[in-house]
Amino acid sequence: MSDQGHDRELQDERRYVADLYARLDEQRRAAREAYRAALGNEESPTDRDVTVRATAAQVRRLDVADNGLCFGRLDGLSGERSYIGRIGILDEENDHEPLLMDWRAPAARPFYTATGANPENTRRRRRFHTRGRRVVDFTDEVLGRPGEGDGTDTDAALLAAVNAPRGEGMRDIVATIQAEQDEIIRLEHPGVTVIEGGPGTGKTVVALHRVAYLLYTQRERIERHGVLVVGPNPAFGDHIGQVLPSLGESDVVFVTPGDLVPGLHVTAEDGPVAARAKGSLAILDVLAGAIADRQRLPDEPREIELQDLRVRIDAATAQWAREEARATGLPHNEARATFREIVVYVLTERAIGRIGRGWLTRDDTAAWEQMRTELLDELAEHEGFAAALDALWPVLTPEDVLGRLYESPQRLRAAGADPALFRPDGAAWTVSDVPLLDELVDLLGRDPAAARAEDRAAAAEQAAATEYAAGVMEILTLDREELDEDLGVRVEDLIAAEGIADRFEETDTRELAERAAADRDWTYRHVVVDEAQELSAMDWRVLMRRCPARAFTVVGDLAQRRSPAGARSWGAMLDRYVADRWVYRSLTLNYRTPAEIMTVAAALLAEFAPGVTPPESVRASGVVPWARRVDSAGLSAGVEEFVLAEEPVEGTSVVIGPPEVPGAVAPSATKGLEFDAVLVVEPERILAAGPQGAADLYVALTRATQRLGVLHTGPLPAALTGLAETARVGT
């Protein structure tokens, strides 16, 4: 194409995209009006809330589409054109003809998968380069027409994206999805999809785009229950947190394994022995034993002083009551009612027999029942009887059971637990405790008395919210001029209508993600698990409980496993739940790590995981990774020199090292993250830190997208001796 022809087509594309933006603006105005109308309609609260949430979600989807609305075009063999973008836009005046095709639509797939060998009825693929709302330029790729000379480098857009400096968070790849990634994103599998790939293969961003695709194709099924995304640490959640919103999807809850129980945020980790013990399914017997240990028999009869006589709860009575309560199969707190019922029956029978000895028989039914009623009332109010019940069959909470178990060697022995679980402060929770606390919620059940109080409080709160909402709607429907005249002041000076709407929404229409995150019993339609190799068998029980449909996208790399309780194979974790409903896919191309750095990391991988093939880097940066040996005094100076050198450079940087290195981040805290420049400090100490040391060092070495340096005081690990030693940082 001549320069003149290129310029003419560029102007045409600019006009077309400008028209798309005009239509986007029209849709946004209409969506906002629908949202305001939904707030003020007269439907039932439930219908209104559903409508408000739906219109609010539509507003958000249209808002995020503004950034890179249209990024490409497909030209078919018959001359037809299809523009590809973040959302679909139809021509309302022309039989709803598509003006812009959503990237997730089946017809858009050739934009990502067509090749010269298999053009998929496509003659040309055009990629737009945009700045804001303006098309700056475009590049064309001619498909299936050998000999035509106006094609361009098919990897240009991809390489531009992977070479670009990193910002504060992960970016979507909607414009540069590659064929092997697209196959996984669009995979129509209803069960569990495992995506394995080495560092930089894009497995996380592929999983997130898969969620966006599923929300597009199965919105009605998924949207009302939402999606749960589980990541390794809070920084990772922050890093990926904008990918789905940037694709117009916000009904997503982001958590770490330490957040899976509402109200808890746990980051501390156990040592290897305790983590392995807590992560094994054998801990289920320990939890059951810990609860059984709290269902006690009295060493001596418990005496209850009543008004007319003294009764006793002896071991035989408690034994019978315990057997009956356990036989119900109910959770501990709910079975307490049966325990109490048996004890009360024995006590009242004995008391009536003693009080009525010589004058009362069972034939005198009315007198017998009258006396029983009086005794029941007395026991219901008797503090000594309540104390006896609490001693023998107490109402328990998960925190109480687990905390007191850890604090007592005797309780640990009684429950059959590993003595290594002992710790003086039982409630100093670790991440490995979270699935145990969650399990105990089901094993213990709700305290019936507390449940009744919560229900009463919830009913009162709902009544207040309904009354408030009615008042808001009354204000919104009043004649503003008459109201201003009656009050003598402008209504806007008393309360802004927008403020009323905001309060109304906060009261009755919480976002799905907020409601789901606060509800332990919420079930999701789909769950994404990143760094899944780190999850224990007990972690998987929690997640399966959260998603009864067993619809998961599981992302991980077994070679990076650092947890002693983590997965050694995917089948070992999944077969128990979805033996015939999980599929495996792998990603083999490294889009993050340049070849120079991957060569260094691959040498380490060959040592600790010789059977694992490292991913192939798609590019080389031309920057050679370096190492510098310093003495102890020079370590801090070297870190400071690196920080100062990177400060003016566009992009991100990080120092990764052992905890005792000032300013360094632990390798585990960088899992899933990426930085333009990385300085790894004291790799030999990372390697020697424990069984997970090799995986930690591998993670540290593969975080860089451009530049890698290593600062060390001792000899380099054997796998890193190929690094070029330098006299100063950064050269």
Q: Kindly report, residue by residue over 286-311, the tens digit of the pLDDT.
A: 999 999 999 999 999 999 999 889 99
Are 720 and 627 a contacting pair, CB within 8 Å?
A: yes
**Strand arrangement, sheet containing 675-681:** 653-656, 675-681, 704-712, 626-629, 724-725
Report the predicted TM-score, pTM, of the whole model to 2 decimal places: 0.83
What's the rounded mean pLDDT across residues 374-400?
A: 96
What is the distance between the alpha carbons of residues 604 and 295, in angstroms, rounded to a whole number?
53
- Residue 575 tokens read as 């077969």
**Total number of residues shown for the chain:** 731
Q: Kindly report, residue by residue over 615-642, the tens digit of the pLDDT.
A: 999 999 999 999 999 998 889 999 999 9
Kindly indicate the confidence band of residue 267, based on its pLDDT and cuts at 50, 70 and 90.
Answer: very high
R_g of the chain, CA atoms, integer Å: 33
What is the distance between the alpha carbons of residues 355 and 578, in angstroms, rounded to a whole number?
62
| pLDDT number for residue 494 | 39
DSSP 3-state of 526: strand
- Residue 425 tokens read as 């402060």
Answer whether residue 87 shows pLDDT above 60: yes
Q: Kindly report, residue by residue over 121-165, the tens digit of the pLDDT.
A: 999 999 999 999 999 999 999 987 554 444 444 566 676 777 777
What's the rounded mean pLDDT across residues 232-251?
A: 86
Q: Kindly report, residue by residue over 362-375, the tens digit of the pLDDT.
A: 777 888 888 899 99
Answer whether residue 465 shows pLDDT above 60: no
Mean of per-residue pLDDT scores for the chain: 88
3-state secondary structure 601-641: HHHHHHHHCCCCCCCEECCCCCCCCEEEECCHHHHHHHHHH
- % the chain with pLDDT above 90: 65
Residue 560 DSSP code: G
Helix axes 497-508, 45-64, angle to 10 degrees: 110
| pLDDT number for residue 541 | 97
What is the distance between the alpha carbons of residues 149 and 326, in angstroms, rounded to a whole number?
80
Query: CB burial class (10 A; 0-12, 13-18, 19+) of residue 579?
Result: exposed
Please state the φ and ψ torsions of residue 194, each to the nearest 5 degrees: -95, 125
| pLDDT number for residue 488 | 47
Residue with the two structure tokens 């070495």:
701
Q: Kindly report, residue by residue over 31-82, the tens digit of the pLDDT.
A: 999 888 887 776 666 667 778 878 888 888 898 888 889 999 999 999 999 9
DSSP per residue, 190-230: SSEEEEEE-TTS-HHHHHHHHHHHHHHHSHHHHHTT-EEEE
More confident residue, 470 or 713: 713
Residue with the two structure tokens 């390489």:
159
Q: Kindly report, residue by residue over 482-493, the tens digit of the pLDDT.
A: 545 554 444 444
In this structure, of 88-102, 126-140, 305-319, 497-511, the range with the lowest mean pLDDT score is 497-511
| pLDDT number for residue 500 | 41
Q: 102 CB contacts (<8 Å, ≥6 apart)?
A: 85, 86, 87, 88, 108, 216
Positive or negative, the CA dihedral 29, 32, 38, 41 is negative
- Residue 502 tokens read as 């905001």
Query: CB burial class (10 A; 0-12, 13-18, 19+) of residue 648?
Result: exposed
Please state the φ and ψ torsions of residue 585, each to the nearest 5 degrees: -135, 145
Please state the φ and ψ torsions of residue 656, each to the nearest 5 degrees: -115, 130
- % the chain with pLDDT above 70: 88
More confident residue, 170 or 138: 138
Are 661 and 635 a contacting pair, CB within 8 Å?
A: yes
Q: Kindly report, residue by residue over 269-278, the tens digit of the pLDDT.
A: 999 999 999 9
What's the rounded mean pLDDT across residues 3-28?
A: 95
* Short-list 534, 512, 717, 552, CA closest to 57: 512
- Residue 478 tokens read as 């009043």
Query: CB burial class (10 A; 0-12, 13-18, 19+) of residue 595?
Result: middle
What is the distance between the alpha carbons of residues 335 and 83, in angstroms, rounded to a whole number?
63
